[in-house]
Amino acid sequence: SEHGISVTGSGDALDRRMGTGEDDMTLTTRQGHPVTNNQSIRTVGNRGPATLENYQFIEKITHFDRERVPERVVHARGAGAHGYFESYGKVGDEPVSKYTRAKLFQGEGKRTPVFVRFSSVIHGGHSPETLRDPRGFAVKFYTEDGNWDLVGNNLKIFFIRDAIKFPDMIHAFKPDPVTNIQDNERFFDFCSNSPETLHMVTFVQSPWGIPANYRQMQGSGVNTYKWVNDKGEAVLVKYHWEPKQGIKNLTQKEAEAIQAKNFNHATQDLYEAIERGDYPEWELFVQILSDDEHPELDFDPLDDTKLWPKEQIPWLPVGRMVLNKNPENYFAEVEQAAFGTGVLVDGLDFSDDKMLQGRTLSYSDTQRYRVGANYLQLPINAPKKRVATNQRDGQMTYHVDLAPGQNPHVNYEPSSLNGLQEASRTSADYTPHVEGKLVRESIDRTNDYKQAGETYRAFSDFEKDELISNLVNGLASCKPVIQNKMIEHLTKCDPDYGRRVAEGLKQHGASKDHGPLGATGTHEAVKEAERK
């Protein structure tokens, strides 16, 4: 053409201008008006004042002004991909139906589409992906029974066991409200006054706190859920994703070297792997326990600061997941994706894990605020099956959730006028019996130190060295009261653990000529532990 634009097919100039041709590339406004000039606003003369009726310009600029939605209050920085989950039809050697009637697990080779979002936790949407932080691992399964979200992390445990502490914990870990600077003192202040954090602190301050990328890390549901079978019988279950790519973590130095050059290395790694056809894959394992208190264990199975020891409670494979498609648009899919722990399908249930109960309110609440009341109508969040509700209206209503043949006048239930009806029950309801005093109390078996010590001892020498060095560097800038509390706790986890951190701090102080622990030599708590 005269403008050097090649137009294929038969579309004539009018077709193109009117936006009717199939391969039409004409720029339009959101009202469908063709845009003939996208370079200049409308002015009186070519250097004169602008006019206010310039709809095209105003639509463009005011839309731009609204491009960002509030970022996630946690897990703001993330990357996502599409793929599928394939069920083995079995749990270990047994038919999976013995434990759960959830349809996505039934039948060998059964595939369910998934969308996964990986993330870091504390910093904002464009923060470096090399920071020491847990990593989010959230999976949305678009099952035939509607969506199931498994909102997990890479690490298998968490800092706290009661949801009421979450906002305090996040405030302490996020930047200072005055300086807007993240501060180790705030982190260790909170942790030293919440000993249940020690096990997670041990992981996060070790190389496990900086996964090399999103493909070479594990995933875990962290909280305890339930599986329910056809008879309405339940078991406790924990989920684990194991990467076929292997696991790789970074030392602090390695992370700093990457960070000096690249803020996006994990997003880039995931995107490029999928583009070149090197599809990352994880195997899904479950651990199953009978649904009771398990007094024989020295921890409570509903306590998410504890690992369920593999030797005692085996990992049973149930399926695998492959990520084979990148998002077409980051914002539409990854940013607007909304995962929540309340999103379960028939055959899956909640446990009384107090974190899980608290989380389940929080996710959909924040998403109604962050994305909007109709966030479930967006393609990334909508189930890939028919949705028929009597929920109507609200900001950004995109369509009405009508069933085919439903009387559109009837937006209520019950009705005799061809409205929606309740589904028929196909399996026995799960009806646990609950009885007890209503209290605000911690669980009995807190046992905050034992598993943290076991994890410390299970680390290789290099992991221990890194852990100690990270703790010493982090604690060095803290007030002695916080250092001393931390050393006391770490010593209770393992005397060697506490001693090494105390000695490291002493040396660190000496090298700076102002011993943070004073000149007292080995810390009192360590001496005490060594006497025992």
Q: Which of residues 135-154 bind ligand HEM (CB under 6 A)?
A: 136, 138, 151-153
Nearer CB in complex with ligand HEM: 138/468: 138
> Is residue 219 within the footprint of ligand HEM (CB under 6 A)?
no
How far, rounded to the nearest angstrom, does the alpha carbon of residue 422 sit from its chain's CA centroid? 33
Q: State which of residues 16, 72, 161, 265 lies at the interface with ligand HEM (CB under 6 A).
A: 72
> Is residue 367 within the footprint of ligand HEM (CB under 6 A)?
yes
- Options 123, 147, 153, 249, the catalytic residue: 153
| Contacts (Cβ under 8 Å, ≥6 apart) of 47 | none
Q: State which of residues 255, 337, 376, 490 lies at the interface with ligand HEM (CB under 6 A).
A: 337
Q: How far is the CA of 53 from the CAs of 50, 56, 281, 318, 404, in angstroms? A: 9, 9, 54, 61, 43
CA–CA separation, 341 and 364 (whole Å): 9
In the DSSP assignment, the letter for residue 373 is T
| Contacts (Cβ under 8 Å, ≥6 apart) of 10 | none
Q: State which of residues 234, 255, 338, 475 lies at the interface with ligand HEM (CB under 6 A).
A: 338
Shortest Cβ 80–ligand HEM spacing (Å):
8
How far, rounded to the nearest angstrom, does the alpha carbon of residue 514 sit from its chain's CA centroid? 41
Nearer CB in complex with ligand HEM: 75/186: 75
CA–CA separation, 299 and 165 (whole Å): 20
Phi–psi pair at 92, nearest 5 degrees: 65, -120
* Contact of 241 with 222, CB cutoff 8 Å: no
Tokens coding 114? 């998934």
Active site residue 75: yes
Binding map of ligand HEM across residues 89-118, x = CB under 6 A, - = no contact: ----------------------------x-
Q: Which of residues 157-216 bind ligand HEM (CB under 6 A)?
A: 158, 163, 166
My answer on whether omega of the bond before 408 falls inside 30° of 0, hence cis, is no
* Contact of 300 with 443, CB cutoff 8 Å: yes
Q: Which of residues 292-321 bind ligand HEM (CB under 6 A)?
A: none
Q: State which of residues 29, 259, 366, 446 lies at the interface with ligand HEM (CB under 6 A).
A: 366
Choices 14-22, 98-106, 336-344, 392-400 (CB under 6 A): range interacting with ligand HEM? 336-344
Nearer CB in complex with ligand HEM: 344/526: 344
Instruction: Return the closest-CA partner of residue 209 out of 239, 181, 187, 177.
Output: 187
Choices 245-253, 268-276, 361-369, 498-506 (CB under 6 A): range interacting with ligand HEM? 361-369
Q: State which of residues 16, 21, 56, 74 lies at the interface with ligand HEM (CB under 6 A).
A: 74
Binding map of ligand HEM across residues 28-67, x = CB under 6 A, - = no contact: ----------------------------------------
Nearer CB in complex with ligand HEM: 375/456: 375
CA–CA separation, 521 and 509 (whole Å): 11
CA–CA separation, 83 and 488 (whole Å): 47
Q: State which of residues 114, 172, 191, 222 lies at the interface with ligand HEM (CB under 6 A).
A: 222
Shortest Cβ 209–ligand HEM spacing (Å):
15
Q: Which of residues 417-456 bind ligand HEM (CB under 6 A)?
A: none
Task: Return the SS3 of 428.
Answer: coil
Tokens coding 101? 């009637």
363 is annotated as contributing to ligand binding:
yes
**Count residues contacting ligand HEM (CB under 6 A)?**
27
Instruction: Return the closest-CA partner of residue 136 out of 309, 301, 339.
Output: 339
Shortest Cβ 306–ligand HEM spacing (Å):
13
In the DSSP assignment, the letter for residue 104 is G
Q: State which of residues 359, 485, 489, 508 lies at the interface with ligand HEM (CB under 6 A).
A: 359
Max alpha carbon distance in the chain (Å)?
Answer: 92
* Contact of 232 with 428, CB cutoff 8 Å: yes
> Is residue 73 within the footprint of ligand HEM (CB under 6 A)?
yes
Shortest Cβ 459–ligand HEM spacing (Å):
22
Sign (positive or negative) of CA dihedral 82, 88, 93, 95? positive
Nearer CB in complex with ligand HEM: 171/231: 171
Nearer CB in complex with ligand HEM: 151/529: 151
CA–CA separation, 399 and 379 (whole Å): 12
Shortest Cβ 286–ligand HEM spacing (Å):
15
Shortest Cβ 166–ligand HEM spacing (Å):
4
CB-based closest residue to ligand HEM: 136
> In this structure, how many other beta carbons lie within 10 angstroms of the beta carbon of residue 27?
12
Shortest Cβ 468–ligand HEM spacing (Å):
26
* Contact of 114 with 142, CB cutoff 8 Å: yes
> Is residue 375 within the footprint of ligand HEM (CB under 6 A)?
no
Shortest Cβ 378–ligand HEM spacing (Å):
12
Q: Where are the alpha helices (DSSP H) in 375-494?
A: 450-458, 461-476, 480-493
CA–CA separation, 189 and 161 (whole Å): 18
> Is residue 285 within the footprint of ligand HEM (CB under 6 A)?
no
The residues that bridge with 12 in the sheet, in sequence order, are none
CA–CA separation, 37 and 29 (whole Å): 11
Shortest Cβ 57–ligand HEM spacing (Å):
33
CA–CA separation, 527 and 503 (whole Å): 12
Tokens coding 110? 């059964």
What are the binding residues for heme?
363
Contact positions vs ligand HEM (CB under 6 A): 72-75, 78, 117, 119, 136, 138, 151-153, 158, 163, 166, 222, 337-339, 355, 358-359, 362-363, 366-367, 370
Catalytic residue annotation = 75, 153
